[in-house]
Structure 1
Amino acid sequence: MAIPDVYRRNFATLRRAAEDGNLALMECTDAVTGVPRYVICAVGRDDGAYVMTPFGHLHDGDPYEAYLPPDTNRSEQP
């Protein structure tokens, strides 16, 4: 399955932020559940103020139990 371009661009931005030392881990609150989340953010500047751009949160528990690898036998869905 091909990764959509928007995710590829976001990942490239995240990599640049990491390479430049502009990556942060912030404690945030999940907008739906109210549960604390630890969010990976790119750090930028806008008129001297810091701007945090969230990319995703760290998984609670064992991520190996939460995700399955791509199914290479499945045909792509349109």
Structure 2
Amino acid sequence: MAIPEGYRRNFETLLRAAEHGDLALLECRDAATGVPRYVICAVGREERDYVMTPFGHLHDGNPYNAYVPPA
């Protein structure tokens, strides 16, 4: 199964942010449940403000139990 182009572009953006040291881990709240989430974000600037672009959150528990690798 091919990875959709939009996901590939987001991953490339994430790699560039990591290469330049522009990543942050933020404690946020899940919009639907209010549960704390620890979110990986790319950090950018917009004039004098920082802009955090969320890419995903760290998995609670054992991530090996949550995913099935491709066959």
The TM-score range, normalised by the shorter chain, is: over 0.9
Aligned residues: 71
Report the counterpart of residue 42 of structure 1 in structure 2: 42
Matches within 5 A, 1:53-68: 53-68=53-68
Give structure 1 regions of 4+ aligned residues with deviation exceeding 2 angstroms: none
Aligned equivalents of 2:32, 2:15: Cα separation in 1? 28
Post-superposition Cα deviations, 1:28-75, rounded to whole Å, max 9, x if no partner, equal 00000100000000000001100000000000000000000013xxxx
Unaligned segments of structure 2, at least 5 residues:
none
Identity between Structure 1 and Structure 2 (%): 76
Report the RMSD for the aligned CA atoms in angstroms.
0.5
**TM-score (structure 2 length as normaliser):** 0.98
Q: Which has the larger radius of gyration?
A: 1
1:29: which partner in 2? 29
**Structure 1 letter corresponding to 2:23:** L
TM-score, normalised by the number of residues in structure 1? 0.90
Unmatched segments (≥5 aa) in structure 1: 72-78
